[in-house]
Structure 1
Amino acid sequence: MNVKPIKSILAALLIMVAAISWSCSDLEQETQLSQDTEGAMTLVEVLKSIENGVEEDGVENARKNAGATYATFNAALGSSGLASVFARNELTVFAPTDAAFAALGLNPGNIRRQPNLKEILLYHVVGGTVLSTDLRNGFVPTVNGAAVEINLNDGAIVNNANIVMVNKRARNGVIHGIDQVLLPPTQNIVEIALGADPEFTILVAAVQAAGFGNLLATTNNLTVFAPTNAAFGDLLDELGFPSLEALIDEDTGIGIAGLQRVLAYHVFAGRVFSSDLSNTTIEMFSGDDLGIDISGPKLIDFREREAGIVATDIQATNGVIHVIDKVILPF
């Protein structure tokens, strides 16, 4: 196994918000909009100007999207206090249509009562200007902090929403219309692990014993490689301990300090999605190196033991979780 030893290369990927290079052959055929008309308006003004999906020089878009309006999204911007943010900053906006909001029982009259409205709106926004011809498959961090997934394998999809309008230009960015409202994650890393009971009960018990519960619940931008109960069972058998309690015994086991180092070896500072992984070596929270081999994909620990990544990209409010089938060890 040959892992390229470039430490923390993944962290650099997390700041590539405004430099996304996507590709989408279907959307490349869409008519480009005139810079002379909409280019003089802000994103908020462009949204307000849309009438039944008709674009002055986008006849094909108008035919495809007749009836698509964005009054609820505009009302949400006003109610949340974000209108000025959308007017001043360079942004790419995935704007749900009125029909998308209506499917959730929302309209301009009641949108202000939607809980977490600001967080939801910011989950529809990417920094910088990203045109349809720049789209590619993968995860894109939003201004909310969580990421949306772009999938171009069958049309153009953001999470589960179809892109139904593209390249509405403004002087400070671009708008793409979508047919569903995107809902960001609402649980932190610990809450997700607790909700997956019994899959991660031993991991949760270990986190609590190590005193890491608050750290994993409140620290932003973490990636956690989470071992399953079966993975912990295999570790206990491998090391000859009958239980987690025996493993962390101060006299005969690795102790609390050892447990803390093991758990910290499963945490990376930064949100790393499956689409960001590469054959490399990264430095974990514990200060120890961990190898990544995307042929599995799998992790390679200090002992050259391999842990398969069996589930990916479980998003939390403060990071992302990947599930692994073996506990990795830094010593």
Structure 2
Amino acid sequence: MTLNQINLKLAGLILFVAAFSFSCSDMEQDAPYAADAEELFSIPEVLKSMEDGLDDASEINARRSAGATYATFNAALGSSGLASVFARNELTVFAPTDAAFAALGLNPGNIRRQPNLKEILLYHVVGGTVLSTDLSNGFVPTVNGAAVEINLDGGATVKGAGNETGSNIVMTDKRARNGVIHGIDQVLLPPTENIVEIALGNDDFSILVDAVVAAGFVDLLATTNNLTVFAPTNDAFVALLEELNFDSLEDLIDEEDGIGIAGLQVVLAYHVFAGRVFSSDLSNTTITMFSGDEVTIDVSGPSLIDANERISGVIATDIQATNGVIHVIDKVILP
């Protein structure tokens, strides 16, 4: 079987944000607006009002949030050309405070020089209106394409792929005509490397990288958006070679005595799913991989059960790339 023969029509995964109430006793939460939705300001206008007092609620917010303001975020919208996008579409914005930007050396005067500013801003935005009462633990896809992780245990936080710790949600449910704003105390940092670049930077994936190169899958895994890769470690490949009585990867893909390049393509395609599937999305179900073969997910492990009923443990999860997500497994699965 060649790459062109691999079945790419797969069942998609619907990501959603489930309703879940949580306490906001230690955070700011605005009272509901009495005004009609059409009379409210847009998201950029609401952010601006929190600086110059366009409405009474903003002055109350300023006092209650002990000086939390959002001038740098608003300036970033203007300099990036995204202000109209934030004004016309129904969105939920996790807006970093000025203090959050200042921690990175950024302010309204220099924010326009920040590399990848559009990608960073879009990483703070979720489509639709998601109120504090709609949040639940798990990953939420952003307009950037990558996801942020919500955690409500011990205080509400939202974490980016490039952040070591979660950002505290310090203000909730600031309503706008076209959505809602939640304030956070750290800038969320999106992933900066694609799936192949992450694998290249991890010594435990060196055999996997060699296999991807040999199969001609580098461009596929580096440029295709919205992929989930179950990545076997070096130990997983070594165990497979021993199981099949091969001394090396080269022997495994030998055209006469091994599975050949076409066979390697099918094996690797059996580790790739179309769609970003995070650990919080996993359930006891069967999914169809790029190879066209099915894998059974057992969340009690969690683990994967391949077509031969071999079990592979999922030993690390949710490594985000610019074009997808990686979960690490301890055994090569076989179609």
CA distance in 2 between partners of 1:297 and 1:47 (Å):
43
Aligned to 2:288: 283
Deviations 1:210-235 (A, max 9, x none): 00001000000000000000000110
Residue 36 of structure 1, CA deviation: 1.6
Aligned to 1:218: 223
Aligned to 2:35: 36
Counterpart mapping for 1:9-158 below 5 A: 11-14=12-15, 16=16, 20-26=18-24, 30-36=29-35, 40-51=40-51, 56=56, 64-158=64-158
Query: Is 1:165 the equivalent of 2:165?
Result: no
Residue 8 of structure 1, CA deviation: 6.4
Asked whether the equivalents of residues 43 and 175 of structure 1 are also in contact (C-alpha less than 8 Å), the reply is yes
Deviations 1:274-308 (A, max 9, x none): 00000000000000000000000000001100000
Q: Secondary structure at the match of 1:281?
A: strand
Q: 1:180 to 1:37 in 2, by over 3 A?
A: farther
Point out where structure 1 has 5 or more consecutive residues left out of the alignment.
Answer: 1-6
CA RMSD of aligned residues (A): 2.2
The letter for the 1-side match of 2:31 is Q
Q: Please give the TM-score of this superposition, normalised by the length of structure 2.
A: 0.90
Q: 1:137 to 1:61 in 2, by over 3 A?
A: farther
Residue 51 of structure 1, CA deviation: 3.8
Q: 1:193 to 1:182 in 2, by over 3 A?
A: same
The letter for the 2-side match of 1:264 is A
Asked whether the equivalents of residues 68 and 98 of structure 2 are also in contact (C-alpha less than 8 Å), the reply is yes
Residue 57 of structure 1, CA deviation: 5.3
Aligned to 2:197: 191
Q: Secondary structure at the match of 2:204?
A: coil
Q: 1:267 aligns with which of 261, 269, 272?
A: 272
Residue 32 of structure 1, CA deviation: 2.5
Point out where structure 2 has 5 or more consecutive residues left out of the alignment.
Answer: 1-8, 160-165
Asked whether the equivalents of residues 50 and 58 of structure 2 are also in contact (C-alpha less than 8 Å), the reply is no
Q: Please give the TM-score of this superposition, normalised by the length of structure 1.
A: 0.91
Aligned to 1:324: 329
- Identity %, equivalent residues: 75
Counterpart mapping for 1:241-252 below 5 A: 241-252=246-257
Aligned to 2:245: 240
CA distance in 1 between partners of 2:301 and 2:29 (Å):
38
Aligned residues: 319
Residue 35 of structure 1, CA deviation: 4.0
CA distance in 1 between partners of 2:129 and 2:261 (Å):
48
Asked whether the equivalents of residues 28 and 172 of structure 2 are also in contact (C-alpha less than 8 Å), the reply is no
CA distance in 2 between partners of 1:140 and 1:63 (Å):
31
Residue 33 of structure 1, CA deviation: 2.9
